[in-house]
Structure 1
Amino acid sequence: MMLSFFDQFASPIFLGVPLIALALALPWILFPTPTARWLNNRLLTIQGRFMNRFTNQLLLPMNPGGHKWALLFTSLMLFLMTLNMLGLLPYTFTPTTQLSLNMAFAVPLWLATVIIGMRNQPTHALGHLLPEGTPAPLIPVLIIIETISLLIRPLALGVRLTANLTAGHLLIQLIATAAFVLLPLMPAVAILTATLLFLLTLLEVAVAMIQAYVFVLLLSLYLQENV
Structure 2
Amino acid sequence: MTLSFFDQFASPTHLGIPLVLLALVLPWTLYPTPSSRWLGNRLIALQSWFFNRFTQQLFLPLNREGHKWATILMSLMIFLITLNMLGLLPYTYTPTTQLSMNMGFAVPLWLATVLIGMRNQPTHALGHLLPEGTPVLLIPVLVIIETISLFIRPLALGVRLTANLTAGHLLMQLIATATFVLLSIMPGVAVLTAILLLMLSLLEVAVAMIQAYVFILLLSLYLQENV
Scaled by the length of structure 2, the TM-score of the pair is 0.98
Aligned to 2:195: 195
For residue 113 of structure 1, what is the amino acid of its counterpart?
T
Aligned to 2:8: 8
For residue 83 of structure 2, what is the amino acid of its counterpart?
L
CA distance in 2 between counterparts of 1:36 and 1:136 reads 61
For residue 115 of structure 1, what is the amino acid of its counterpart?
L
Deviations 1:16-68 (A, max 9, x none): 10000000000001111113433111111111111111101100111111000
Aligned to 1:46: 46
* Shift of residue 187, structure 1, vs aligned partner: 1.0
Aligned to 1:149: 149
1:71-220 map, 5 Å: 71-220=71-220
CA distance in 2 between counterparts of 1:130 and 1:152 reads 17
Unaligned 5+ residue runs, structure 2? Answer: none
* Shift of residue 4, structure 1, vs aligned partner: 1.3
CA distance in 2 between counterparts of 1:13 and 1:4 reads 17
Partner of 1:139, secondary structure, is helix
For residue 108 of structure 1, what is the amino acid of its counterpart?
P
Percent identical? 79
CA distance in 1 between counterparts of 2:211 and 2:170 reads 17
Structure 1 window deviating more from structure 2 (31-40 vs 11-20): it is 31-40
* Shift of residue 106, structure 1, vs aligned partner: 0.2
For residue 120 of structure 1, what is the amino acid of its counterpart?
N
Deviations 1:117-141 (A, max 9, x none): 0000000000000000000000000
For residue 92 of structure 1, what is the amino acid of its counterpart?
T
Scaled by the length of structure 1, the TM-score of the pair is 0.98
* Shift of residue 3, structure 1, vs aligned partner: 5.9
Deviations 1:71-111 (A, max 9, x none): 01100000000000000000100000000000000000000
CA distance in 1 between counterparts of 2:56 and 2:37 reads 25
Structure 1 window deviating more from structure 2 (74-83 vs 27-36): it is 27-36
Aligned to 2:29: 29
- How big is the alpha-carbon RMSD for the aligned residues of Structure 1 and Structure 2? 1.1
CA distance in 2 between counterparts of 1:38 and 1:112 reads 36
Unaligned 5+ residue runs, structure 1? Answer: none
CA distance in 2 between counterparts of 1:13 and 1:2 reads 20
CA distance in 2 between counterparts of 1:207 and 1:220 reads 20
